[in-house]
Amino acid sequence: MKKVSDHLFPIWRGARGVQGWSWGRSGAKWESAGGEAEDQLLGFDCPVWCVLCRGGRAWLQGACQRGRGAFRLPADMLSIKLPQLFDIHQVPKVFREDGIISGYRHPRSSALDCILSSFQMTNETVNIWTHFLPTWYFLWRFSILCSTLNFLTESYTWPLLVYMLLICVYPFTSSCAHTFSTMSAEARHICYFFDYGALSLYSLGCAITYGSYVMPDCWVNSWLHEHFVPIAIGNTLFCTSMSCYSRFLELQFPRKSKILRTGAFVFPFLFDNIPLFYRLLICCGGSCSHTEALSSHCYHLIFAFLTCFLFASHLPERLAPGRFDYFGHSHQLFHICAVVGTHFQMEAVLADMTSRQAWLISQAAVPSFLGTMGALAVSVLLNLGIISLFSASLLQTPHLNAQSGVASARHSNPGLSQQASAEPKEE
Ligand SMILES: [Zn+2]
């Protein structure tokens, strides 16, 4: 018997079995590849007017067949060369995601397979594109700013320069991490080490801009203002270390690993936003100043909380495992909310930077090269050092190598699915 959720959520069937959308008999139905079912019209009940019209049904069937044939051709051409996909029980535990049942790529994919898979519908495809396309959006915004601002000589713009560089780097790194994360178990961990490093550097970019443009009037030149960026550099080291370390706990203590990783990113976020929280607080008290940016700041905060909620909750796939494997699972929504939040943050920073320029230049020290580009360079080097240390110790961790060994053995065996289904689950 069909469950109620069968009608609520569409199911995308991957490369195995019939491929295409299925949304109950009452809704639209499309199948891109498959067997004999495609030679017949699927449950298409001819409308009354068509039956009444002599020859209408035959004409409509013919038209549908021709349309379906044309629609299927490119999908058939693509499916010939694209890599095979697997279900959750067929891949080593290190590759599994909560609530995602199908659409897994081979755990020993080549770099070319990984790139090709970004054009194939897998459970990572939307993750890849939801950060790859925004990279170009932020690059486009950055190029416009390059033509309107003088980043070379005007030191007031240097915090923005660091921020713009980092909001282009973090989605691009994430997109690459999702693309190449199935080359091996070790590659997967190292890819995500870089992803976490880029996110942690993004938090530094936020701190540098917030310290320069968002700081409330009454906190300018305070102890916190002067030490804001050095503390943020320390936070990036903490964030990258904790999030990378959390991957070592993932298999044995998944809950602990998740809490550690979430905390690693929430902590620098809360620190960076202390000036903003205070500004909003005094605004609620009725003494608002420089209000142009506040609505964008609020939208950013809403999306940031949503991002954190999606990352931690694994909703909606936790409620209906297998229903959101390809579209709509929490990581995709997390990416989208993160990018939309960053967009609002960028708008808010630009608004504060412009509207407060005269006041800030007259009251505070102008941003220094050392406090902006210098802080970025030091943090990049230190974070790369941390990633190298974790990568080196990862390659010496026997149980993770064993995981990839399982994958390697499967790769050499063409009967992967039969063998995998016969193997005990790696719970
Ligand atoms: Zn991601």
How many CA atoms, within 13 angstroms, populate the side-chain half-sphere of residue 10? 16
Annotated binding-site positions = 178, 331, 335
Residue 416 confidence (pLDDT): 38
Residue 98 confidence (pLDDT): 86
**Residue type at 61 in one-letter notation:** Q
Q: How far is the CA of 173 from the centre of ligand 1 (A)?
A: 9
Q: How far is the CA of 325 from the centre of ligand 1 (A)?
A: 15
For residue 281, give the 3-state DSSP assignment. Answer: helix
197-232 per-residue burial string, b: 16 or more CB within 10 A, e: under 16: bbbbbbbbbbbbbbbbbbbbeebbeeeebeebbeeb
* % pLDDT > 70, the chain: 74
* Per-residue confidence band for 268, with pLDDT thresholds at 50, 70 and 90: very high
Q: How far is the CA of 171 from the centre of ligand 1 (A)?
A: 8
Residue 36 confidence (pLDDT): 38
User: Where do the H-state alpha helices sit in 82-184?
Assistant: 111-117, 125-148, 158-180
Please give the Cα distance from 182 to 29 (Å, whole number).
Answer: 31
- The residues spanned by each domain of the chain are 93-410
Neighbours of ion ligand 1 (CB under 5 A): 174
Residue 293 confidence (pLDDT): 85
The mean pLDDT of 329-337, rounded to a whole number, is 94
Q: Which residue has the tokens 């149980």?
A: 399
- CA neighbor of 17 nearest in space, from 28, 32, 5: 32
Q: How many CB atoms lie within 10 A of CB 55?
A: 8
* Per-residue confidence band for 400, with pLDDT thresholds at 50, 70 and 90: low
Please give the Cα distance from 102 to 90 (Å, whole number).
Answer: 10
Q: How far is the CA of 339 from the centre of ligand 1 (A)?
A: 11
Please give the Cα distance from 253 to 223 (Å, whole number).
Answer: 40
Residue 69 confidence (pLDDT): 52
Q: How far is the CA of 341 from the centre of ligand 1 (A)?
A: 15
**Stronger pLDDT, 427 or 109, i.e. the higher one:** 109
* % pLDDT > 90, the chain: 51
Please give the Cα distance from 121 to 13 (Å, whole number).
Answer: 10
Annotated binding-site positions for Zn(2+) = 178, 331, 335
Residue 71 confidence (pLDDT): 47
**Stronger pLDDT, 290 or 417, i.e. the higher one:** 290
**Residue type at 30 in one-letter notation:** W
DSSP-derived secondary structure for 50-106:
HHHSTTHHHHHHHHHHHHHHHHHHHHHHHHHHSPP-B-GGGS-GGG--TT--S-BPP
Question: Tokens standing for 74?
Answer: 């490119």
* Per-residue confidence band for 158, with pLDDT thresholds at 50, 70 and 90: very high
Q: How far is the CA of 338 from the centre of ligand 1 (A)?
A: 10
First to last CA, the chain: 30
The mean pLDDT of 115-132, rounded to a whole number, is 92
Question: Tokens standing for 98?
Answer: 């909560």
13-22, 43-52, 167-176, 410-419: segment of lowest average pLDDT: 410-419
Residue 142 confidence (pLDDT) above 90: yes
Question: Tokens standing for 12?
Answer: 């995308």
* Per-residue confidence band for 287, with pLDDT thresholds at 50, 70 and 90: confident
**Residue type at 48 in one-letter notation:** V
How many CA atoms, within 13 angstroms, populate the side-chain half-sphere of residue 146? 9
Burial class of residue 6 in the structure, from the number of CB atoms within 10 Å of its CB (0-12 exposed, 13-18 middle, 19+ buried): middle
Residue 411, C-beta contacts closer than 8 angstroms, at least 6 positions apart: 106, 107, 108
Residue 387 confidence (pLDDT) above 70: yes
pLDDT digits (tens, 9 = 90+) for 59-103: 546 654 655 554 454 555 455 567 788 899 988 988 998 889 998
pLDDT digits (tens, 9 = 90+) for 176-211: 999 999 999 999 999 999 999 999 999 999 999 999
Q: How far is the CA of 80 from the centre of ligand 1 (A)?
A: 28
**Stronger pLDDT, 3 or 144, i.e. the higher one:** 144
Task: Select the CATH number that applies to the domain covering 93-410 from these four: 3.10.20, 3.40.720, 1.20.1070, 1.10.3470.
Answer: 1.20.1070
